[in-house]
Structures are given as C-alpha cells and as structure tokens.
Structure 1
Amino acid sequence: MHSRQVIAAAILAAVVIGTFAGVGVAGAVAGEDAAMATTTWENVTITQEYRLQPDEPGQIEVTATVSFPDIATEFEMAVPWQGTVTDTDGFESTVGRRYEWTGEMDEATITYDLDANETAQGTGPEPGSGRFLYADTGAWALVRPPDLEFISGRFDATDNDVDVGIDRRRTVAGEGAVGDLLAFLGPHETYTRTAHGQTFELVVPEAASLTAEPDAVLAAFANASDALRVGDRDDRVFTVAAPTSVDWAVLGLQTWDSDMWVEATEPIETADNTWLHEYVHSRQQLNTTNETQWLIEATATYHAAELALDGGLTDFDGFEERLARGTIDRYRDVVLAEQATWTDLAEYDKGGLVIGELDRQIRLATNRSQTFETVFGDLNDDTTIEHEQLLERLESVANGTVASTGDRYLTSDATPSTWTRAQHEAAFGSTPAAFTYELASASASYRIEGPYRNVSTDDIDRLAAGETLVVPVTVTNIGGSAGTYDIALSVEETVVARATGTLDGNESTTISLPHTFEQPGTYSVNIGASRTTIQVSDPGSAVVESIAVDRATLDAPGTVTLSATVRNRQDFPATASVSFTQNGATIGDGSVSLAPNESRTVTRSVTLSEAGRYELGVNGRTTTVVVDPPRFTYAVDETTEITVDGEYRTLSTTEVPPLVVGEAVRIPVAVTNDGGLTGEYTANLSIDGDVATRSQGELAAGESTTVTLEHRFRQPGSYRISVGDMQTVVQVRDPATPVVRRLDLDPPARSEPGNVTVTATVGNGAPVPAAGEIRFIRDGTTVGVESVSLAVNETLTVSKTVALPRPGQYRIRVDNVTASVEVEPTADAASDTVEDRDSSTATAASEVSTATDAAEPTAAAGPGFTAVTAFLVVVVAVFGFTRR
C-alpha cells in the first residue's frame, strides 16, 4: 500500500532553495493564476518493509528504504520512539531519534527493531477478555507500525513549479498483507469483493479459525455499503480476522480510515455484530465534542444491529434484545452528554438505544421519508458537532418534538424503552422478507447417496466419483413480510441445483439440493454465502477376501452356490470387479460397490452336470467341488478269518478271542470304492477310539481290495477294537499259571541208592495260554526248574531224573503235588548212616538249599542212623517232555 503526503510547493523562477519543516502543507502556486499554472510532482518515496523475527516475539524488524528525487539536497527524519536502529545505509544519526540523509546515494535505508505489542488499559470498544490491541507472537503478527516522522528537507529545482510530497508505501517480507496502517505478517488467505464503489479485503490468517464463512462476511459488508447512506465511502476496506490465541482487549478495532480487525470467532449472524460495528466506524467522519462523543459508539452499535436486521443476519427478537441492553440498571444515572456520568459501555448500550428511538421517532414524524441516517450523514463531514447542532439537525430533519425528545434523553438520565414488533412495523414498515439458510440437521448435516452408501454425515470433504451429495437446507423467512426465496447449489460457480418458493414472515421449510459428482477433481461448492471445498476421487479397490460353496461334494450331478466375500478395508468407498470361474474358464462377471469398511457377499449358482472334480473360483481364489466322489466301505464279515499270533500260539478264528500280553491280532478288511471317481482310501484299526494302525491306497471306481490290519497288545486290560463296520471288545491278560495235575515216580521205590525219574503232568484250563516254571523239590531242596507254556486246554508232561544217594525215605514235590520214595538201607552202613543222618537233619533244619546236587533222606528213611556225614551229590538231570 502507499499514500502520498504533500511537503510543500516550490516556487521556482531561477535557482531557489526551499527548506520545509512540516508535513501536510498543500501544494500552492504563486505569481500567476493557479488554473493557468504548470505544476509537477516530485516525491520522496518511503517504503517500509516489515519482517517477522520468530526468535524475538513482540518485536518486528522494519527496513525503511527512502528514494529521493533529483531535486532533493537535504532530508531529515526520525524513527518511532518504539524503534531501535540496527543498521543504516545513506543515513547518519544526528540528535536522538533523528537521522539525516548523507546525500551520497539516491536510495538510502535505515533498519530498526520495532516493539510491536500495544496494550489497552481499562474497558475499550467492543470489550474482550485481555489487554492486547496489537500483538506479535513470533509466528505471526497483527500490528500497526508507526510511520517515520518527517523533520525537514531541502529541494532544488530550476524549471517549473514543483509540489514535493512523501509517497509512503508498506510491504511485508515474506507472507503477509497490509492496509493503510494495519499489517498482518504470516501465512494467510485473502478474500475480496467489490460492491458500491468499495473493495473489501478479508485476510484470514492460517492461525485463525474463522467462525463465519468468508463470503458471508464480505456479503454483509457489501449489503451495508449500500444500505448505510451516510457518505464517506473509502475505496478500500482492509479487514483481518484476528487469531484468538492472543488475549485481545477488544473484540474488534477500526483504525485509520478503513483498516480494522475482528476476532476470528465472532459470528456474523447476530445483532451484536462486531464485523458491522467496525464497518460503521470505517464510514464515520464525526468530529465530536465532549457533549457529543457518545455519537461515535452509539451510531456504530445501533446501525450494526439495524443492518443485521435488514440484511437477514438476525430477527426482530435479536435486534430488540441488543437494544434492550441500554435499559439495565447500571445505566440508570448515565447522562450521555456528560461523560463524567458514564459507566462501562454506556455510550454503546444506552447510546445505541437512544439512537434507535430517535430513528423510530423521525420515521413516525416523517411518514418514513426520513431516518436518523439523514442526521448522521449531515454531520459526517469532519465539522465539529456541538450538542445544539445535533438538536438543530433533528428538528430540521423531523420536527421540534423529536428534537426535544432527543434533548431530554441526552441531557438527563431519562432512558427510552425498547419497542414491540408491531411498533417497529408501524415506524419502519414490515420488516422485509429476509431468509436464513441453515443445514437441516446439526448432527448429520448432509446426505451422501449412490452405489456405495446412503448415509447422513457431517463430513463431505471427500466423495467418490458417482456419488450424489444431497444438502438438506432449512429456509426461514425471519422478516415480517411474505417473500420468495431462491436458493442455489453451485459447483465451481455454476448452479447445479436450485429451489424457489414463497414463505410468510417467520415461516420455515426444508428443501433438498442434490448434485452428482461424476468425475474426480477438487470442487468449490457453495449454498448462499456458505462455501466449502469437496475432493472427489475414484473409488478405492475392494478385494475378494474369501470364497465358499454350500456343498463341497455331491453324490450325483446337481447345482451348488458359489459365494465370495468382498471387503473394503479403506475409510473410503471402493469397488471390485468379480469374475466367477469353473476349471479356469469364466462363467460370469459382476461388480460390487462397497461403503467404507464394508464387506458384502455375492453369490452365483453353478450347475455341475457330470461326475468329476471341479475347481470353482472367484478372482483367483479357488475351491474344489466333487460330484459322485469316491465312497469307500470297509467290511469285516462273519466268515473273515482273524489271525492271533504270539509267543504261545498262532491260530485263525472268526472272532477275536481273549488274548495274552504280547499277542498280535491280524484282521483282514474288505475295502470297496462305491463312488464314481478314483480315490485314496484309508482303512483304520482303532483301539478305544484312537487309530492304532492304518492302511492306505488308491482304488478306481467299483474296485475292491483286502488289506490286513495288525495290532499287538503290550499291556493287560479291556480294549474296544474298531475296524470298518466291526466293533468288539477283547480282554488282554497276562498268561495263565500252568497247573500240575499228577506226579509219577519211576521206579516207585529203590533197594539201594540211585536215581528216580519224576514225571509231572501239567495242564491249562484257563481261556488263554499258560506259561510258568515247574519246580522239582526233593525234601525241601529244589533240584530242578523247567519253564513250560501251554495252549488253552493243553496238557503236557515234564520229567526229571532225581538222585537218591542214601538209604531212607524221600519226599518229592512238584508245585503242590507230592510223592514219596524209599531207598532201603544196607547192613554195613547202618551205624554211620544214623550218625550222618542226625548231623544232616540238624543242618538241613537251618535253611533250605537250592542246590540240585544235594540230597538227604528224611528221618523216617533210616532208622538206627544217628549221624551221617553230609556230602553233596551232583545230580545230572535228564528232562523229557511228552504232550498229550
């Protein structure tokens, strides 16, 4: 931005040197009529460049570049008192803050750090919660940098009359925007609109969260520009939406002619409208006195509310509520013409109510031909406004009664009341039809419809191509008169849907505006003053997650249902092309559209007309269906010979007999494929439900084979055997104990020492084989052991030769069967025998010997023998077995 300031007029006939000590001196011409004079401008251009200093919040850097015309010979200026000079080029310090141009270059610079923060004390206009009027956070700054102060200058010209001025320009190093004095430094977006000879610029910093839509703010400014007929329209209105991370002292602030800022969170649809309040200030050129100072904020407050009502930004209730603040108790003793009586915000609230009442009285008195705007406009010319002048204008525009009413409300503590809707319409006419448009539902504002989803949502940042956005809008006529609404949905500034209709005052209706986005892209969408950006993208890709058939086998040709589960794993709509195949050949195609994170199952019926194995698939995933598959039977009939084999026997039988530990059972199984396809069979022999052994193989359709399954039992117990269609329980036990049934001696007696053959008859009456040891015992001494085993119901004989080395009677025992044999003594051995026998008996009583070669007759076998010297006899046993 730039502005020009006149320094002086140089009247030049020959070589004239002029020294100019002030600014703001209008150009002048001497020596001839001004209308005939030839005057040129020569400017000193001062460009101030503002720069953020992120490491030093609260302070910005200013570089002032001063460009001098050829006629300049001397120039002195001063930096602001808030500045600290850090560098100069072409300037040198003189006194205090003053710097003088050296004249060595046409363009000189001075750089200084400027304290950017400005604070307020007490309650300011449109009060906020904090204390800052301007602030620099380091990341961004909202500032009002003061100008360099012109001190003096000297200019030399010879040819023509010259007006010399200062052309002041402002810019930002990096991102930012500047008005006449106000500047924002930092990332931002700028929105513009031109209406009624004014260009409105709205700067929205990246750091700000704007509550109102930018277009709504600009539309309110444009409407107010036309509706407020008080003169003094500036070509440019520069507004910044201030970020709320700073505690501002006010909700908004207007400076210079038409620069202003408003807190970004301030709403636009309200009678207490900060945006319009500051705009009204930009239209004021009121030169007030102490008695009329109240006019500045009173007119801004009232006309902001009136403009909001007429512009459809509020209804009558909101308008009346804003003016009613002027009636609260704290203003009871306020006299507007006496500032000493003011309490906080009196000039806003009570002053706004008084202006409103005067506007109503003027309209009633003039049959609506005049308004307070007429008074405002007449006074809005920078002429000093005295109280009497104000009353004169009230009487001139309306009548003496209105002027007397005004005088009473301004010079006493009298306070007008607010008025009813009927009274308002009597004075102002029916409030015009004014329509508000708002989304029909706050919780789910929009509808998205189409092939992927049909949902209500708040989020329309992104749609899939082919989806339809339906915007349900509640239209309300907040005015007092019937009117026709016309609301359009525009995409990229082209109207794509429109709804029109008529509503009576205070009537509402809900309409829907749809549009289908066919192609991907970024679209600007707006309804009325509301605008948003929508991204439209191609749908994502869904995947076939799994497939299945309702039957994996068919006993005969028939139909199966092939299903595929298609899943969208994204938070965005997706689609998938689905291809059904049979043995690799495509049998059908389709497409599936899915909402975000949705899964869906698609199906197809497939007819399988012949026996065989079929591979059915969807998008590369496959599953197998078998028609008339191999079907195997496993049979063990009543005539099947089962083999039992073990240590004690081998036999064939049609039933599994009781078994002994260690025996194996072998069961033949007839396997038959009754199906229509070759397949692999598995024949199992299970013990107590667990497969103990199996046999596998392949059989063509209709073929049979016999396999033998074998299992050997290692532990006693009761076992359930399952083979094919046969189940039986078998008892497994340890071998039975052989039983000695008879004992035979040969010879039954001897006439002299010698050998006797002992024959034991052994039998097995148990249902299982028997096994064990047969012990031959002579007079308590084991003389032989024989292991025997017997089949069921088998009998055998076991023989052993036992030595009888001395005369006497011997007792022979085999297990529990005993027999006696006597050896007659000889005459010459009688005395010795008795002696030995006594000795032997005494020895034999102490323990039982297991030696097979020791033998001694019992006491009854040798009468007259008292002691016999014992000796060992080695018995050579000869065993013989005879089974019968």
Structure 2
Amino acid sequence: MQPDSWSDWDVRNRCVSVSLVVLLVAGALATPAAAAPSMYLSNANVQESTVLVGENATVTARVKNLGDESGGFTFEFKRNGSEFASQRVVVAADESVRVSQTVAFSSPGTYRISVNDRQAGLVDVQRATAAVQSTDDVQRTVEVRAGSVPTNEPYTLDFPDAANRSFAVETWTVQTGEASYTQQIVEYTDPAAATVAVPSGRSATVASVFTVDSTADVERATVRFSLNRSRLRAVGLEQSEVTVYHRNGSAWEPLETEIVEERVSSVVYEATATDFSTFAVGRIEPEFTVEDTSLGTSQVESGQRLVLEAVVRNNGSVAGDYEGAMVVDGERVNETTVSIPAESERTLRLSHDVDSAGTYEIALNDEDAGSIVITEGQVADDTSAATDTESTDSQSTPGETPATGDGPDIPLPAGVPATVMGIDTVYLAGGIGVALVVFFGLVLVLRRGGGGNDSGGFDQL
C-alpha cells in the first residue's frame, strides 16, 4: 500500500485534534479525584507528662479534610502500640475536627501514647509525686500527691532540686493508712515570713521553718533537709546544735535530729515526727527565772531543819528540767530536779538539818534567798525534849513519884502537883489529917463517957 502523503496543514490539524482528545480524557479522569475527601492528621499530643496510678491522662488529636467533599475518619488511640480506644468522625470539606480521649494506668511505668501512626507523647506514671507550686526568695511550696502508695509501710518521695536555697527539704518519707492523699509542705528560708509566731530572744535561735498540711491522717513521717553553712554562720549556730522542734499549741517539742551527710556548702539532717503542723529548725532552750523564795524551820530529833521553798518559772518556748541546789553558808547541801513545761511555773522544796546555833546564809544555786538564825535555846530545848521523851519509855512519866522507894527522891518542877494512883497529893494529905482528928476525938469521947467503970468505954473498945 502506498503511504498517504500529508501536507503540513494536515499534520497540524491532526495534532490539534489529538491534543483535544487527550485534554478531554484527562479532564474526565481528574474531575472525580478532585471531588473526593482528603484527610490529614495534623497533630496529636498528650496533655500530662506525669500522672499517678489510677489517674487519667488526656490525649488530643486533630484531622483536616483537604478535599472538596466531606468524608469519614477514624482516630485510633494506642498505648505502647496497643489500641485502647477509637473514635469515628465526619469531616466536611476544607474543615478540621479535634477530639479528646482519656486513658488510665493501673501500674507505674513509662507509656508511649500515639494516635493512628502519629506519636502523641510519653506519660510517666508514678505512685506519688512532689511538684513545686510556688517559690520566691523567702518561701517555696511543694505539693505532694499520692495515688497508690503502700498503706502498711513508708513511702519515700524525692523533692525537686532547690539549688541556691539556704534551706530545702530533699526527701519526704511518709507512712499512712491511706493509699492516696495530698500534702502541702511550705519551706520558709526566712522564719519571720512564717504564718505562725516563731520563738525568738536569748533562749531561741531559729534558722528556718517549714509547715505541713495533709488531707490524710499521717502516722509517721521522716524529713531529710539541707541547711547551708552560710545560714548557720549567719544565725550563730554550730552544725551540732541544730534540732527540729514541732509546734504543739504554744509550746515547741524537740524531735530527735541527726546529721546524715556533711557537704562542702551544706549539712543534711534527718528527723522523724508523728504529729504535723509547724516545725522550727535551730536551737530553742528553756528560760528559767526564780519568781519567789521563802525560808522556814521545823523541829527535828537532831535539832532544827532549815527549809527553802522557791517558785521557778520557765519563760521559754520549750519544756526543760530545772536543777536547783540549796546552798548553806556557801556549801551545796541538797539538790533536786523539777521538770517545768513551757511558759509555766513549779514550786520546789529543799531542806537541811542543823544541830548547832548560829546564823545560816541560804541560797538557791547562785541566788541569795536570805538567812535563818538558830538560837541556843532552840537547839537546847529540842535536845532536852528529845531526851525526856526517850526516858519515859524506860522510866516513870516526868513529874510522877517513882513506884518504888529504893531510888532517890525525884524533885518535882515548881507548879506541877504530885499524884498517887491518880490522886493529887495535896488533897490526899488533907484527907488523912481530917481522918486522924476524927479518930482521936472519938477516943476522947469514949473515955469520958466510961467514967470509972472498968468494964466499958475505951477498954471495951
């Protein structure tokens, strides 16, 4: 066959025709594609980076429809690669939809959260957390939240680092009967900023204060804290003098405090408490004053007893033991110890026996209490009385005539009547005299009445 011979005009016409056909076919194919929905997962994130066991974390995600027609989209929420929830939404053309989904955790650990194939974030799940709520130059507030702590043993929390603070709690070990609770610990680097009155004056040196507020009934808690050496120098405390005191009403009670670590710039202490409110860190001592003294004497077998009574007051904010010594003529002769609560007073009594006359100077410790004069008569009378009392046990009562006549006559003191068988001797002698007069008078009468009659009268009598 002879091939056709095309002119240039025919070639151009045929090329234009083919091009139109191609454009028509491409347009027909492109029209349905442009009209379909086109979904794009724009973002996915988890709002909380740290939660407690049993608490929820919130996951959010957004999808945008880039197409010209509405369509459906399914959000698949995954935890460590395993789907835990899904949501189906319809998205209009050129619109976006945002969804949220919560997820809970039953055990501690680190979990990877994703939506479809997009990473949302990591969640650290803990039994308890401690986070700083507020801070400034004089205070720092740390909130402790527990979600699944043991109820029969202590649980220790590390506090956030507190660099460049003169006082900071580092660890907090708590034992309660509750698995979940909230506590707020406020650290005061300046004691004057505390909301309670802090002991001051010559008997108290406080370096810092912290308070504890809890929703749970705390059975026992151990606090470990650091105190800068510069702060110790500023308040004039040696590191061995630091004690933690718990506020109980208006008084402060010392807690057993020990040094657990010595660092270059700070000292770390530890103390355990069973009651919780406000705690002071430093040194608080009792402050004793003698309010009143009185002196007296009393008779004793060996002579005289010197008695010293004193009212002692504790003006300090902490209870203490007052050691009182009775000093007689410069010599400590007796001493006692009495425990006096804070802002209270007690009376103590001391005594000392003497057996000789003289003037005795009395003091309570270094405070002069006065003098007592003992006379010879006081000592002699006491000795005589004691001797007489002892002699009556083996001899007759003083003033009585001895029952036997063998011994020497015992003179009676003037004005003390003698008695025989309980009868006054004066009356007894008078009665005998009267009886004798009556007897002899009767004899005379009988003799005269008988005359010369030898057979009657007295002879007959």
Q: Is the pair's TM-score, using the shorter chain for normalization, greater than 0.5? A: no
- The normalised TM-score by structure 1 is 0.19
TM-score w.r.t. length of structure 2: 0.33
Larger Cα-atom Rg: 1
Larger RCO of the pair (alpha carbons < 8 Å, separation 6+): 2
| Structure with the largest fraction of strand | 2
